[in-house]
Structure 1
Amino acid sequence: MGQSVLILASPRDATADRVAAELALRGVAAIRLDAAQFPGEIAMTATISSGGRWRGSLSAVDDGRQVVGLEQVGAVYYRHPEQFVLDERMSAPERVFGYREARGGFGGVVQALASARWVNDAVRAAQCEYKPVQLAAAARVGLAIPQTLITSDPQAAYDWAQGLGRPIVYKPLGGIWHGDQGRIRVLYTTPVGDLESLRDPAIGRTANLFQEQIPKRFEARAVVVGDQVFAMRIEAGSERARIDWRADYDALTYAELQLPARTCEMLVELHRRLGLVCGAVDLIRAEDGRDVFLETNQAGEWGWIAEEIGAPIAAAIADELTSEAR
């Protein structure tokens, strides 16, 4: 592929570093930018007319140097770019307006690049942030999922748990990281020991996700890239890690895992239906031998998997970004 790859990621994203290094080894031109650089450090000029496509460039604000021509972008590796940074001299309402315009202008033009191959498409990635979307798609392709309830009704939560008759857990719907009065709180998977607590009126203040607690042999992370699946077994050596392995990394050990062919097929089909080229999937190997799907993260971390088991994940993503057969 003679065109450039645009990497949209935070400068602190070590996972994006791995893909950038792989592209460099192949002699592929890669331009790395972060949305936080617009409009203070990077300027955009783009035009379009009837029968045409977006043309123009991204350039450096300080010296006007062209960073990349829009027509040169053949693929976009979209990770977790940071938010736009606007002029501090703007009032709060001006910043709200300016952010919306930056999102619609910079973000809109980049997403509209006619020939670019996205890994992953920003719109589909945003849709897949919703866990109910993932769970419904996983069920449709045949993957086992935990019995799940999402409710804002305390009595419905209590009745569901009583009827289930098995241990349940609470999981946040919006990810584990949450701001709380200037501090960052981490909300891991939490067992619900006292079902009477589900009658708490506070449950009625928002949506809550509850799932059956799957008896497990071990957990796994599987990275899907196109039609390839790279999987790693995660063994938990502490009670905290057995509930949620992210809560105690020091207690974990890893090993390469060969998932059943049918599980791999369903994971690939899941990501195809979700419109994702790649994703990091969390699974449970249940005591009864089933592989149970928990979630997929379209920009999940996989660098540690590559290190632990030698999986060529960066190479697989680079293949997707540089394939001329798309």
Structure 2
Amino acid sequence: MILCITHSRDFYNIDLFFDYLTAKGIPYFRLNSDKLNHDQKISISQNSFELTDESGKTIKAEDVKAVWHRKSWMIDIPEELDDAYRKIFLKEYSTLRYNLFTMLENVPWINPFENENRIDGNKMLQLNIAQKNGLIIPETLFSNDAEAITGFFHTYGNGKMVAKLHGVISKSMGGENFLSTNIIDENSIQDIADIEYCPMIFQPYIEKEYELRIVYLDGEFFTGKINNSENADWRIARGNYFWSEYHLPENIKTSLTAMMKEMGLYMGAIDMIRGKDRKYYFLEVNPQGEWGMLQKDLDFPIAQRIADNLIKRMKTNE
């Protein structure tokens, strides 16, 4: 059985994955990470666990032969719970979830849980590993110091830089709940003093030809190009933008493969831009990043390849 860790509002990508497993005769279990709370019955011992989900389906640790960590969401807190108990409710259920996931560390994962947490939570580590493996990265500062940020702007910004929060991502490719990348120029740099309340990542603004969303899957690449040269981020762009298939240069694929292997990831959604200087710039990798728009618009078989990868490794692990 393949366990898929997702959330209660996930659809399309996950449906394609399940349809493919059904066609292959491979059993699966959907575990909604946001419902790993009072809605489910969970018991963990030293060597196993038993879980009954919100719909009444039961799974045991020994049933699981592979895991796709599609996406984890914050655990839902019951509205009726007194405010005084909310922090401890979230802490204890988060600890229970962590114990549950790590119980399965010896079966194949996409991606290995600890590797994914380490990379997803550390933008500076990502950049260092990318540069080590031959990729070009923008100069980057993660700071709450207005003086340091202003100095960075005048040293590297050339009149314009981008600022974004480290841990805020969109819940969908439509931009809902997405905090956009902000542009800092000569006028707005004067108002940077309030940064102490919310540190951000700063990089020089790179004049670009287009943006790339690259889905890496264990040495295979599915790359979409979007002609968004005017906006700071394609996810908030409005207008006549569309995805087209793109073939990466071999040297970029070689560097990305080496980077992902060093990170210990089988899969990730990688963002790069092609600058007007004709260079490729690595921005980040999101181990749980979205790719449904590439499968839908470009007919890339990403969901099927994820399943194939897990099936192959599951059989090897038997």
2:128 to 131, 136, 140: 136
Change (3 A) 1:214 1:87: closer
Classify the secondary structure of the residue corresponding to 2:242.
strand
Classify the secondary structure of the residue corresponding to 1:233.
strand
Number of aligned residue pairs: 308
Contact 2:213/2:223 (CA < 8 Å) preserved in 1?
yes
- Residue aligning to 2:307: 318
Change (3 A) 1:185 1:60: closer
- Residue aligning to 1:257: 246
For structure 1, which segment, 130-139 or 120-129, has the greater mean C-alpha deviation from structure 2 after superposition?
Answer: 120-129
More strand by share: 1
Counterpart mapping for 1:58-73 below 5 A: 58-59=51-52, 67-73=58-64
> Are positions 1:172 and 2:169 aligned together?
no
Partner Cα distance (1:196, 1:82) in 2: 34
2:218 to 218, 222, 226: 226
- Residue aligning to 1:5: 2
For structure 1, which segment, 92-101 or 81-90, has the greater mean C-alpha deviation from structure 2 after superposition?
Answer: 81-90
Residues 235-255 of structure 1 deviation map (CA, whole Å, 9 limit, x = unaligned): 128x4xx32211125431221
- Residue aligning to 1:95: 86
Change (3 A) 1:34 1:139: same
Aligned-pair CA distance for 1:204: 3.2
Classify the secondary structure of the residue corresponding to 2:316.
coil
User: Which structure 2 segments of 5+ residues have no match?
Assistant: none
Partner Cα distance (1:29, 1:152) in 2: 49
1:124 to 115, 118, 138: 115
Counterpart mapping for 1:209-288 below 5 A: 209-236=201-228, 239=230, 242-288=231-277
- Residue aligning to 1:51: none
Residues 92-124 of structure 1 deviation map (CA, whole Å, 9 limit, x = unaligned): 343322332222224312322254211123333
Aligned-pair CA distance for 1:305: 0.3
Contact 2:8/2:34 (CA < 8 Å) preserved in 1?
no
Larger Rg, first or second structure (1 or 2)? 1
Partner Cα distance (1:97, 1:165) in 2: 44
- Residue aligning to 2:196: 204
Change (3 A) 1:247 1:199: closer
Letter aligned with residue 284 of structure 1: I
Classify the secondary structure of the residue corresponding to 1:264.
helix
Change (3 A) 1:318 1:202: same
Partner Cα distance (1:268, 1:170) in 2: 28
- Residue aligning to 1:181: none
Partner Cα distance (2:36, 2:183) in 1: 43
Q: Between the two proteins, what is the percent identity of the paired residues? A: 26
- Residue aligning to 2:18: 20
C-alpha RMSD of matched pairs (Å): 2.5
Classify the secondary structure of the residue corresponding to 2:58.
strand
Residues 199-237 of structure 1 deviation map (CA, whole Å, 9 limit, x = unaligned): 632123342221111121111110001111111111128
Partner Cα distance (1:222, 1:196) in 2: 32
Aligned-pair CA distance for 1:90: 4.3
Partner Cα distance (2:76, 2:152) in 1: 45
Contact 1:141/1:269 (CA < 8 Å) preserved in 2?
yes
> Are positions 1:301 and 2:299 aligned together?
no
Partner Cα distance (2:54, 2:306) in 1: 31
User: Which structure 1 segments of 5+ residues have no match?
Assistant: 49-53, 179-183
Aligned-pair CA distance for 1:135: 1.3
Letter aligned with residue 122 of structure 2: Y
Change (3 A) 1:155 1:98: closer
Classify the secondary structure of the residue corresponding to 1:293.
strand
Residues 16-65 of structure 1 deviation map (CA, whole Å, 9 limit, x = unaligned): 222222222211101102133334332123322xxxxx224222578xx6
Partner Cα distance (1:309, 1:75) in 2: 28
